[in-house]
Structure 1
Amino acid sequence: MRRLSREDRAEDHDGGRDEAATIDDPSSFPAFEVIPGAAEAGLLLICDHASNALPAAYEGLGLPPGELERHIGYDIGVAGVTRRLAATLGCPAVLSHFSRLLIDPNRGEDDPTLVMRLSDGAVIPGNRHADADEVERRLALFHRPYHAAIEAEIARALAAGAVPAILSVHSFTPVWRGVPRPWHVALLWDADPRFTAPLLEALRAPGDLIVGDNEPYDGALRNDCLYRHGTSRGLAHTLIEIRQDLIGDEAGQQAWADRLAGLLPAILAEPLLHERHAYGSRTGPVPPIYP
């Protein structure tokens, strides 16, 4: 079964509609939500595609009613898993508060799929004519504030004397372009194995899951969220993808939060996960680690 291209990966994830707001007053439409947690917890959760909310001024990006409720809007189930896991472990979490169709926070600022004009067969009218000025506006209002919030949580942990590991929570569709996905869960990673290897082992140990390793996507994506905050900083990190039919309701979200909460403490007890190491990237040379 093939791994998806960058364009396919940008199209494939799920959606539902959040309450609209206006962008005239940034306080009425925050770009992110921070769930408080102990700075010394040793773990930071991030959720790039937590919401499909759009400011009212964008008028649903011109999409017909219901389109944002499809998988093109956000990652179904991930916000619930992230909130529950953060509450159980007492760790902080940063969640996006805008649809990935507005601008994708899991893409670098130079990525051609940053603002999608076509997603899973749907033309996005509000993006079709988004010029460089409009993309810059969305970067300033949504993308950069989200990443600044992640940077602030990392800085808070480091100031407390704790080097955090980062877990990015995503989900994937059970069927893509008519092809069923066999995996229940998968981990995506680039070159740093510290978090991924033990979590893969722990997920596979009970024998009740089909666990993907860099499936159905490849985790080496230059300048994406984990490249920026994990690879470039030398922080241990991994991205978990949970199949959406398993977390489509509160019971499934709770079950997966409980499963992960049972596995993560033992993994995070390994001191190596709380040291800074430069492992490089399969995408090419990595700029010097920044603070």
Structure 2
Amino acid sequence: MQDDALIEPSEGPAFAIRHPDGASEVVLVCEHASKTLPKALGTMGLDEIKLASHIAWDIGAQAVAEMLSDRLDATLVSQRFSRLAYDCNRPPEADGAYPVRSEIYDVPGNVGLSAKDKARRADAFYHPFHEAIDALIEARLMAGRSVVLVTVHSFTPIYFGTRRHGHLGILHDEDSRLADVMLDASAALELDQVLRNYPYGPQDGVTHTLQRHGLTRQIANVMLEIRNDLISDDAGQTIWTGRIAELLGMSLARLNGEGQA
């Protein structure tokens, strides 16, 4: 391992790709898939309970993303290290890429990072992950394939002491094409508590991946946020994979039928 490397060869790479040759037009992304920290960063001053909590990863999101990938034959790109090391849904210039505090918890390992420290983190985690997504999408577009970007996240049922009652958030930035049809389809499927830009929205800085890979290429894109107590076990993950697969299927049929995708 080079002196400035954050990921040992035995730990790498920074990302994983599932079904790289997937036939679906959907490209799935899971930026907060893992709670794993690279050995070089130790525990970042956090105990085991905090390192297993939502501050370290999106609980259940990777499992749902993998099941969707299998069910749809859709390629999935996942980050293999905790967002505490680097939040891959934030650009390198954003303070939130290196969170010094997550909800009510301080993150000692991110306090006082120098510009060099931040660049080292971005080089280890952010750039390889997003360059892999860039390469995948560009290759498909060059081959004349349609591409739809779907990112998979989860959120906590209680945030700063306030209970969140929504089940599924459909998030978008300036391009709401896919979100609009998904919200319409969720009503047709009688799915409960499916909400637009919930529990966050673009004003909260959560749509970086959509902006970088979707908006810049004018491909349909959406960010999914599932309440994590609904997908914390196999049964819940299976249920929500089925619901989202059906929702995506209906939505993409409508979108393609309108000639907008």
Query: TM-score, normalised on structure 2?
Result: 0.91
Aligned with residue 238 of structure 2, among 254, 258, 262: 254
The answer to whether residue 170 in structure 2 is matched with residue 182 in structure 1 is no
Which amino acid in structure 1 is aligned with residue 228 of structure 2?
A: Q
- Output the CA distance in 2 between the equivalents of 1:33 and 1:141: 14
Q: CA deviation at 1:60?
A: 1.2
- Output the CA distance in 2 between the equivalents of 1:28 and 1:236: 34
Instruction: Report percent identity of matched pairs.
Output: 36
- Output the CA distance in 2 between the equivalents of 1:126 and 1:35: 31
Which structure 2 residues correspond to residues 128-277 of structure 1 after superposition, within 5 A? 128-220=111-203, 221=205, 224-269=208-253, 270-271=255-256, 272-274=259-261
Which segments of 5 or more consecutive residues in structure 2 lack a partner in the other structure?
A: none
CA RMSD of aligned residues (A): 1.8
Q: CA deviation at 1:122?
A: 2.0
Query: TM-score, normalised on structure 1?
Result: 0.82
Q: CA deviation at 1:118?
A: 1.5
Does the C-alpha gap of structure 1 residues 207 and 87 become closer, same or farther in structure 2, counting only changes over 3 Å? same
Name 1:5's counterpart in structure 2.
none
Which amino acid in structure 2 is aligned with residue 42 of structure 1?
A: E
Q: CA deviation at 1:204?
A: 2.4
- Output the CA distance in 1 between the equivalents of 2:223 and 2:83: 17
Q: CA deviation at 1:61?
A: 1.0
Which segments of 5 or more consecutive residues in structure 1 lack a partner in the other structure?
A: 1-21, 275-291
Which amino acid in structure 1 is aligned with residue 238 of structure 2?
A: Q
Name 2:107's counterpart in structure 1.
124
Q: CA deviation at 1:273?
A: 4.6
Q: Answer yes or no: is the 8 Å Cα contact 1:204–1:210 preserved in 2.
A: no
Name 2:81's counterpart in structure 1.
98
The answer to whether residue 7 in structure 2 is matched with residue 45 in structure 1 is no
How many residue pairs are counted as aligned between the two chains? 253
Name 1:17's counterpart in structure 2.
none
Does the C-alpha gap of structure 1 residues 230 and 27 become closer, same or farther in structure 2, counting only changes over 3 Å? farther
Q: Where does structure 1 differ by over 4 angstroms across 4 or more consecutive aligned residues?
A: none
